[in-house]
Structure 1
Amino acid sequence: MHKHNARERIDPELAEVLKAVPMTPTGVFDLSDLEGTRVGVRAMAESIASTIPDEPTVTTHEIQVPRADGPYVPILLLRPQNAPSPLPVVMWFHGGGQVLGHAAQDSPWLKPLCTALGCAIVSVDYRLAPETPAPGATEDTAYRWISDNATDLGLDPARIGLAGQSGGGGIAAASALLIRDIGAATPLFRLLMYPMLDDRNTTDSSHEITDIGIWDRATNISAWKSILGDRVGTDDVTSYCAASRATDLAGLPPTFIGVGELDLFRDENLDYAARLRAHGVPVELHLYPGAYHAFDLFAPQSHLATSFHHTLNDYLVRNPVRNPAGVSEPMAHADRLGGACAR
């Protein structure tokens, strides 16, 4: 463990960007003022979105998905106008540690992805903690509803993949377990960007990353307390709340995991990838040296972020989510995706 020199090992490009990132005493995200931070995150996303040219060939529809025992789950359905139906689908879960963020924040880079892949994207506005403790967000996955209503929506129920970033990556991971256990059709894949998987905070990296300021140990502990309350770290946490708690990983879809070397989630991600492989699940794993949490968002023009975006875009192209009749050269959009990721 390199607890005392994590900052010294940050990639030079990423370190330069970090100097300009506004920090509170607890880092970028002050979870002690959750409402204020939520307002700030939304305002920042809207401000950045206003500087990015819209993708006119992508339409956006908000749909209220019914739940059996609670409020509707809002989802945003993004679809390219020039792609033939039925469209393959990527179900997207936004980042924010499961306590921050909203579905629309990622539209600036999800829209170009729609065009690049010739697919629909369903961005899920799952409920946040602490107002809705886990596993509420996982129960909001809307996967079965999309599958059941795919034909009416012009979507392909046989080609649906799950994807998510940070806290949303944790929701995508847990959702696949729930989907498996209720006997629904297995998703084509999971694309997990530095996912938040383990509430226990016992790994080396969870002790090592304490002062970078993006998503450090104290912030992560605070987020998990909001998500789980008194259950955090106990035997009362199920795999639908924290995907690393699952002991049976058989039957899960092929999984992509990308994470930075200096990300608090590094070791829980590496452990999860190894256990998936041990249960026969195909895994593509990428570890980025010198990269902190969400490096591609804070430094989208850096070499590491560009490499990461090309890699995850290529993974989607190589999976059957891509519409065979769609755009023939989706990688041509990679620079646009990278630039749009800054928020």
Structure 2
Amino acid sequence: MTDIQLHRPGKLGNPDLVIRDDPRADRRLVAALDTMQMAGDPPVYINASTPLEGIRQYLKAAEEGSVEFFESSVAGMPPVKGVTTTVEKIVGVDGNEITLFIHHPTGVDGPVPGVLHLHGGGMCILDAEGPLYTRWRNDLAAKKMVVIGVEFRNATGRLGVHPFPAGLNDVSSALRWVSKHKARLGISKLVISGDSGGANLGLAATLKAKRDDRLHEVDGVYALCPYISNSYVNKRPELQSLYENDGLYTPLAVVAATAIAYDPDGENATNPLAWPYHASEADLEGLPPHAISVNELDPFRDEGLAYYRKLQAAGVPSRARMVIGTCHAAEINFMKAIPDVYHATLSDIAVFAYSL
């Protein structure tokens, strides 16, 4: 039998590959990355060996440096019509104040689905108030849904140093408040949704709701590019994308350091409430419907797909989609470069929410 040379994608076939030269990459995305000098090897200034204070300082600086990027991501886009926004302040289980940004569609009769939105940033940085996620929530609300953005505590950065489980506690507090006020908010069914670290918190909050006998508060979960395995130093061989896509926009050395900022003592390395990938079948049984969306060129791709398969094995109604040709969270971060992908993702979340 003739030997067959199988193609090995990404860095499995070429360890020196950069996203600019990856034939799988959406060329529009590559062009956008090139204009920002982000299409080559990403710089790596921290790793799992960096002292904790150094990690925190770097992440805070990265957060400050992201302001211009996120402003440019939405600059020049027309305003979203048919949406009004209010702000609510609530008190969380830890006694801290939590800000909720509530986006209502106008001209809607009767209750509509609600989305409890959790921003990305690896549970460590970024915020709900910035222009990128404000735009995202407005566009979701324009799909005739009530969208609530949660300003949860991060593990480091501008909002202070609040490692696990602070952010999760805030999300759970917001979930409880929204669930209690669904009638006033005009919400029928409630979906938790977030990207990256926000997806982690959404999945974890659902697991926590089950443990706390509050699962009735969650009608569905839509997780985008979930960051959930904590396998970024000792990579799990079953998660091929950790090898295949490391450094294609997202360097795992930096990710591993970010995970340390979230759980500095490493006491929760396999705790499903910190890293939902480690949930058992018993943890997952009885959960509400889930949708998992992953990016083809994302190191986290396969942990998202693995979680989907675990949900299936546990009998949870679930579906998955892969956004071809894109790096981590590209459908949000590069909405102007790939607008069709951006709007397809918004529509998919709305279809999921209205199906419940």
Q: TM-score, normalised by structure 1?
A: 0.82
> Using the alignment, how far apart are the partners of 2:291 and 2:23 within structure 1?
25
Cα distance change of structure 1 residues 321 and 71 upon mapping to structure 2, 3 Å threshold: farther
State the shift of 1:259 in Å.
1.1
State the shift of 1:169 in Å.
0.9
> Using the alignment, how far apart are the partners of 1:43 and 1:188 within structure 2?
36
Matched, 1:242 2:242: no
Counterpart residue number, 2:186: 155
Matched, 1:209 2:245: yes
Matched, 1:121 2:147: yes
Contact 1:31 1:219 in 2 (8 A): no
Matched, 1:109 2:123: no
Query: Structure 1 stretches of 5 or more lacking a match?
Result: 323-343
Matched, 1:230 2:265: yes
Cα distance change of structure 1 residues 238 and 70 upon mapping to structure 2, 3 Å threshold: farther
Cα distance change of structure 1 residues 236 and 293 upon mapping to structure 2, 3 Å threshold: closer
Kindly provide the amino acid, as one letter, of the partner of residue 176 in structure 1: T
Counterpart residue number, 1:33: 58
Matched, 1:66 2:96: no
Counterpart residue number, 2:348: 314
* Higher radius of gyration, 1 or 2: 2
> Using the alignment, how far apart are the partners of 2:349 and 2:138 within structure 1?
18
State the shift of 1:72 in Å.
1.2
RMSD of Structure 2 on Structure 1 (CA): 2.6
Q: How does 1:272-287 map to 2 (within 5 A)?
A: 272-287=307-322
> Using the alignment, how far apart are the partners of 1:281 and 1:287 within structure 2?
19
Query: Structure 2 stretches of 5 or more lacking a match?
Result: 1-7, 46-54
- How far does the alpha carbon of each residue in 1:96-142 deviate from its partner, in whole angstroms, 9 at most, with x for none? 111221112311132132122x2210001111113111122111111
Counterpart residue number, 1:172: 202
Contact 1:207 1:217 in 2 (8 A): no
Cα distance change of structure 1 residues 49 and 291 upon mapping to structure 2, 3 Å threshold: closer
Q: TM-score, normalised by structure 2?
A: 0.79
Equivalent in 177, 186, 195 of residue 145 of structure 1: 177
> Using the alignment, how far apart are the partners of 2:326 and 2:73 within structure 1?
23
Q: How many residues align?
A: 313
Contact 2:80 2:138 in 1 (8 A): yes
> Using the alignment, how far apart are the partners of 1:219 and 1:241 within structure 2?
18
Kindly provide the amino acid, as one letter, of the partner of residue 170 in structure 1: N
> Using the alignment, how far apart are the partners of 1:161 and 1:39 within structure 2?
30
Kindly provide the amino acid, as one letter, of the partner of residue 67 in structure 1: G
Counterpart residue number, 2:50: none
Equivalent in 172, 182, 194 of residue 225 of structure 2: 194
Cα distance change of structure 1 residues 218 and 104 upon mapping to structure 2, 3 Å threshold: same
- Percent identical: 25
- How far does the alpha carbon of each residue in 1:29-79 deviate from its partner, in whole angstroms, 9 at most, with x for none? x97522222222234434554533333532211211211323111110111
